Amino acid sequence: MRPPSIKYLASGTGLLFLLSLSLGVGFNAVNPVGARLPLVPEYVLHQPYRVISLEKAAYIYLAQGFELWRQWGGGSVLFLDARPRLDWQDHRIPGAKLMYPMSYVEWTCNPKTGQCREERQDYFGKILYPFSPFFKDKPRTLIVYGRTLTYNLAAELAWRLFKRGHKRIRLMAADMAAWRAAGLPVYGPQKRGPR
C-alpha cells in the first residue's frame, strides 16, 4: 500500500481548516446568547510585552532573591502564575502569585420567560486586580509564566495588565518543567521551601 502523497495531505488540511472556519463563523451568526465571539482574541493581535528566556528569568529571580535577603523588603520584580490552581498548588516558583481564574461563567434566568443565558464575568477585573496590593506599584516589572496547555492564559493576563496601565510586562518563554529541569527553586506541597 502506498503512503498518501503530500498534495493529498495538504488538500485535506486545507479542507479541514475551511470547514472549521465556516463552523466558527456560522456559530457566531446563530449564537443564541447574542454575543459575538472574536475569531482571534485581542491579546493575540497585540503583544504589549516582551518574551524573555528561561535563563534571563532565572537570573532576575536569583538576583532578586539575594536582594530580598539583604534588605528584608519587597522585590522590584513580581512573578505571576497564570496556570490553574491545582498546577500552582502542585509546584510553582517560590513567591509567585496565582492569577487564575481570570473569568467565570454565571447563569442568569428570567423567571417570567424561563429563558436562561450564560454571562462571562470578569473575575480578574472585579476581584484579583483591585484587591491585590502588589499591583499598586505600576512601574514594577511583572514576569508572567504558565506555558503549558494554558499558554494563552499567560498572554491574556499580560494583555489585561497592559490595559490597566502596567508597561513593564515580560512573558517567560519556558514552562515549569523547564524551570524544574534547570534545577531552579520550586515550591510545592511535598516539601516546604525551595527544592
CATH (domain of 55): 3.40.250.10
What is the spatial distance between Cα 42 and Cα 74, in angstroms, rounded to a whole number?
33
Q: If you search the block for the grid coordinates 457566531, which residue do you land on? A: 28
Same domain, 29 and 50: no
Q: How many domains does the chain have?
A: 2
Alpha-carbon distance of 88 to 188, in angstroms, equals: 8
DSSP run (H or E) holding 12: helix 6-30
What is the per-residue pLDDT across 73-131, written as a single tens digit (0 to 9) for each?
Answer: 445 788 999 988 888 888 899 888 999 888 777 888 888 888 888 777 888 888 889 88
Shared domain for 78 and 173, answered yes or no, is yes
Which residues form the domain of 25? 1-39
Q: Does residue 28 sit in the same domain as residue 47?
A: no
- 31 and 55 co-located in one domain: no
Tell me the torsion sign for CA atoms 72, 77, 83, 87: negative
What is the C-alpha separation between 140 and 149, in angstroms, rounded?
27
Give the global pTM.
0.71
The size of the chain, in residues, is 195
Asked, for residue 123, whether it belongs to a domain, the answer is no
Structure confidence by residue, pLDDT tens digits, 38-67? 667 777 777 888 999 999 999 988 888 765
Q: For residues 26 and 49, state if they share a domain.
A: no
